[in-house]
Amino acid sequence: MTVDRILPTDEAHDLLDLATELADRELAPRAAGFEERAEFPRDVLRTLGRAGLLGLPYAEEHGGAAQPYEVYLQVLEILASRWLAVAEAVSVHTLSCYPVAQFGTDAQRKLLPDMIGGELLGAYCLSEPQGGSDAAALTTKAVRDGDDYVVSGTKAWITHARVADFYNIFCRTGGPGPKGISCLLADRNTPGIHPQAAERTMGLHASPVAQIAFDDARVSADRLIGGEGAGFTIAMSALDSGRLGIAACAVGLAQAALDYAIGYARERQQFGRPIIDFQGLGFTLADHATQISAARALTLAAARLRDAGRPYSIEAAKAKLFATDMAMRVTTDAVQVLGGAGYVADHPVERYMREAKVLQIVEGTNQIQRLVISRALAKG
């Protein structure tokens, strides 16, 4: 179904048209095959980068498009409606460029054109095997040794772990707690960085997720981003933006599931008429359409706060929570609309359902979003 959008400029309309054209040509026809083979579509990310779609929210001086975040999120939604693994890759990569773009030195920012142009793919190394939600308790260490930091420890659940060209490593350079955390930018070929075997995930098979072991990896001190002790602030600031990216992905995935379910329900005949004419099913689809519109509006409202330079952390948490829970409901019900056909891989809705689950987990579980929101309520 066509989504009626209000966009800030004619340029934004052109960007969404470009995103739709590329998504229809480069993503939709390839998604099922790549997911079945568990193959990462690196060339697609380069294509999107060269088309300018990986640098939308970043400054033109660094090769970006200087677009409002609300425009970037709607591009992300379109990509997700064709192939979630690619949209999630774009979201993670955009997140991985954020520390250098926002907190990096002039020398570090010279890397940005290749980063946001898609020639260099990024990974965001925050979570650990024993600590995902409690990021302030991370244990990966970086010890200063002359002109280098020596990094040891293990990161977990790292998207692009085996294919990234650079890593943002959040590590402990000081004492316990958030003030002891710093951020280092490392190249993939740094000796001592060892991506592990890819995880066998429920969905997003085309997205390589793995642990990364750091075995006394030496990272030059001039790759420290924002100074020692700034890492936790960088991580949390980036995650606020990343949560909006995941919310947009959830909206796009849910829209794809709804569109497919509607198409099927219009064609499927039972008792002499299309099943969409039965209120039990038609009302379910109506609820889904309403919930998707609500999630889209909530996500874009938070993005507009961000664009206006106003606090948006709590609204980002609300958007991520609502949109991803919604996507789980919509995709699950889409399988039910198709009945037995929905349970087989001949139709994409079973994949949509498996993919939706991870969106409730990444960029902070939805339990963490509820914690963030409830603490804000308690503080008034």
Q: What φ, ψ does residue 183 adopt, rounded to 5°?
A: -125, 125
Cβ pair 226, 183 in contact under 8 A: yes
DSSP-derived letter for residue 131 is B
Catalytic positions: 363
3-state secondary structure of 217: strand
State the Cα–Cα distance between residues 323 and 246, nearest whole angstrom.
Answer: 8
State the Cα–Cα distance between residues 328 and 74, nearest whole angstrom.
Answer: 20
H or E element at residue 254: helix 231-267
Q: Which two tokens stand for residue 329?
A: 């409901």
The helix, strand and coil proportions of the chain, stated in percent and rounded to the nearest 5, come to 55, 15, 30
Q: Are strands 209-220 and 193-198 parallel, antiparallel or unpaired?
A: antiparallel
Helices 231-267 + 313-338 axis angle, to 10:
30
For residue 131, count other CB atoms closer than 10 A to its CB.
15
